[in-house]
Amino acid sequence: MPSFLKDLSLRRRSRQSFHTTTTTTTPSTQNTSSNTSSTENDGTSDERPQNKSTSTLSSFYDKQSPPATFGRQKSRSSSHLVGMNGNSNGNGNPPPVPNGTRPRLPSDQRSSQRYSLLGGPSSQYGDAPRQSPATSPLAPRVTSVSDGSWVHQKVLLISGECADTQRPIDGTMTVCHHQDTFPPTHWPVSDSHFKALLYLQPGPNRLRLDFTSPKLSSTNGQMQVHSSWISINFLPLISSPPLQLCILVARDSPETFDAVPERIQKEGNGLSTAIRKFRMAAYLWQAFTAEQMNRNGFGRRCYRYEEEWQPGSLSWKDAEVGAMRNEAKIHVIRLPQSVAEIQDLNLAQQYGPATKKGDLFGIASEAVRAYFGPKPGQRQYVSCMFLDAHWDKKVGTVRAHAALGGGDDTIKLAIFGSHCLQSYPSHIEEVVPAFTDCTRTDTDHVANDCGESGSNWEAANIGIGAHLHETGHLLGCPHQESGIMLRDYVRLHRTFLTRESYSTRTKQQGLRLCLPKDECAWHRLDTLRFRFHPCFQLPADPATAPSTDTSVQVWTVDNGTILITAATGVAWIELFPEGDDICHHWIEYLDQNNPGVGPPRQITLTEEKLREALPTEKRKKKLKFQIFSCGGNDHTVEDLSSLTSKTHRLKLPDGRQGFRSAKLGHSGLPASEPHELILGSCQKPSRLLRSIRIYSGQSLDGMEFFYEDGRAELFGKRGGKRGGDEFVLDTRRGEMLLGFYLRAGAWVDGVEVLTSTGRRSGVFGNATGGSGYVPPFSLHFSENFVVSGGSYCHLELY
């Protein structure tokens, strides 16, 4: 028996009397729940003891001073221990709880403030850590999130320690949710470490964590419960675009997915089961991503799902009691194609001879576009699953499956098959069993995807993780050197487990203890992209209006110096020496230690400084680099040496020096031809510009400049709208051309004239095409343009 339990007198109180006693409580005590828990043998049993000691519960509420012997211990929960080694009544027993009363939470000012919704974290990176109260040195101690923290996702991943990590012990931790709004869940404790998923209600959540272990001795033969409490505030976000979840079914689909007969008999393989499993996988994505963002110093920001009030499925008891919950909506989209059409081998991505491996993406894109009907500027983010994916054992491939992610300006899309769906958890209670199920994959009925799904838990890992990988693509992430975007998702299960099962992929027994250093992760560059992604916005973030200039401008100026400007701030630069297809080296401009100081809007670099960020053996190679703004835009410079060479500088006719900007548009059409024009205002003698006529349709065709002396100069061609649109300068008031606002992508979509008086012409052409670009007006420049043939333009500014 542990020494600290020798002097502890245990007093029992029936569960029935605990629930039926009535009392008048203050708001700060109304969240108290009964001290119920489950006891498990090394995390395998869910049985509850019929009679259980409430000594730890009552001692927590009694306002007694802790004994000096515990005050010197390092346990964070020791300050809340009472009734041990003596107490205020001097008789060695805990003070009795009067009949008709209920134990109360401490009512001091700090406790009451935990239930206030006024205010939030002191910074975007969260509050300073606060210790959560505990009632025993063996009680759970949450280390991943501070007491009183604010989060923005319904399912929160936590981790921590129980008992003494120097003397590791196995057991079970039970999570009792706020006001019993969710059934208690049980999580294994391995070597005194635990991980758990919390279901949160909007607003303040007061949760109790109970630790039990059959390896801890007891004076009365009953298993002791060691409890602690933690407060978490859940603020749902509704101002950012959601990530939509869709299941695609063929027009004549049987609405079933591949599963072994035992699974079909146990839980079914129909559409309703698929919806539950896909929803649970999506909440695992969200919990994992929020934790990764926090570890990278960005707080628990994450994307949200569109939710609706519906029969709950996050707990297996929800269907039993008919509980209704606000949970992620799974859209079911009926395809115009038949099962035979989408299961065509030529569409199967994993089938070697297939000739149309990317066509499933087009089928999904068309269906999603028809379903949501997005308009210009109303971008949708959609992650889809083909329900009719099917393992063909004879051919040895999965039909109607492709793992792809990407999209265009209106639809960002990820697609995946349902061939691993049978192994997914359907509820929170099934997460640990699903990721530890060593049942071998029966290839008579289901696929062993890529030869890495030899058991049920590995199939769940591949399916959930690979679909998350494609969802990363739709959120803008390329392949990386490590992490989810490199297939590191084969370790995704470690995020939710403390002990790993045998792996058929590695032919080795799993880790005895899974610590954060052993887990899968989003790469640092992925989290930087997420930090400025619209889906990850928080209410405190600066608003980005559609007209906001999110562009990045790159200029070469005197002495080979590179000037980089971004109205929203420069976030980071990725460096790609020749031979590197993925980024291994980058420069960040975010000061995480001082979040009140925003990123710089203008930076100056030299070729030497950029090359110093590379290893010695790569510094002399051709260097490409990509600059990212805080507005979510980016710009790529293909060759650093070319940018700083004399080809990007020229001497103007009036004697001034001009500097070339980076090119807008790709000049990739066969009819493209260069066309260069230096305006008369830079000629010698100078000519006064009177008006500009813009020729455009859905893109920029050309511009014609008219001077006061009657002469005109054409840039491009007279296409698009007949006669064009004319913008007249008020030369009597000294109004002059200041520059242009451009919309450009593969070509120049539209142009807006900006003048020295602050007047804007409005965008001529496609006002929503491509991205917006504005030159830095602190520079003195003339206008020099290069135009391609036809209606395909690109533009350069000097």
Cis peptide before 685 (omega within 30 of 0): yes
Is there a contact between 194 and 160 (Cβ–Cβ < 8 Å)?
A: yes
Q: Put the strands of the sheet holding 764-765 in their side by side order.
A: 764-765, 748-755, 737-744, 771-773
Cα angle 327, 173, 297; round to 5: 65
In the chain the first and final C-alpha atoms are separated, in Å, by: 82
As a whole number of angstroms, the distance between CA 523 and CA 469 comes to: 12
In one-letter notation, the amino acid at residue 49 is: P
Q: List helix spans (H) across 296-439.
A: 316-321, 339-342, 359-372, 431-434
CA 493 – CA 497 distance, rounded (Å): 6
Q: At what angle do helices 271-295 and 456-474 cross, to 10 degrees?
A: 70
The answer to whether 189 and 170 have CB atoms below 8 angstroms apart is yes
Q: How many CA atoms, within 13 angstroms, populate the side-chain half-sphere of residue 53?
A: 21
Cα separation of 546 and 119, whole Å? 29
Is 470 a residue of the active site? yes
Place of tokens 């008999």: 265
Catalytic, out of 430, 458, 470, 519: 470
Q: Are 590 and 571 a contacting pair, CB within 8 Å?
A: yes
Angle at 393 between CA 391 and CA 397, to 5 degrees: 55
SS3 608: helix
What distances in angstroms separate CA 28 from CA 31, 108, 482, one per listed residue?
7, 10, 46
Residue 365, SS3 per DSSP? helix
HSE-CB for 171 with a 13 A CA cutoff: 31
Identify the CA nearest to 561 among candidates 620, 600, 609, 626: 609
Tell how far CA 700 is from the center of its chain. Answer: 37
Buried b (16+ CB within 10 A) or exposed e, 614-634: beeebeeeebbbbbbbbbbbb
Buried b (16+ CB within 10 A) or exposed e, 111-135: eeebeeeeeebeebebeeeeebbbb
d(CA 192, CA 435): 20
Helix (H, G, I), strand (E, B) or coil at 574: strand
Residues 6+ apart with CB under 8 A from 445: 258, 259, 260, 261, 391
Q: Measure the CA–CA gap between 741 and 774, rounded to whole angstroms.
A: 5
Q: From CA 496, how far away is CA 457, in angstroms rounded?
A: 12
- CB contact set of 234 (below 8 Å; sequence gap of 6+): 150, 151, 152, 153, 154, 156, 200, 201, 202, 203, 205
Residue 583 — φ and ψ, nearest 5°?
A: -85, 130
Q: What are phi and psi of 706, to 5 degrees?
A: -110, 135
State the catalytic residues. 470
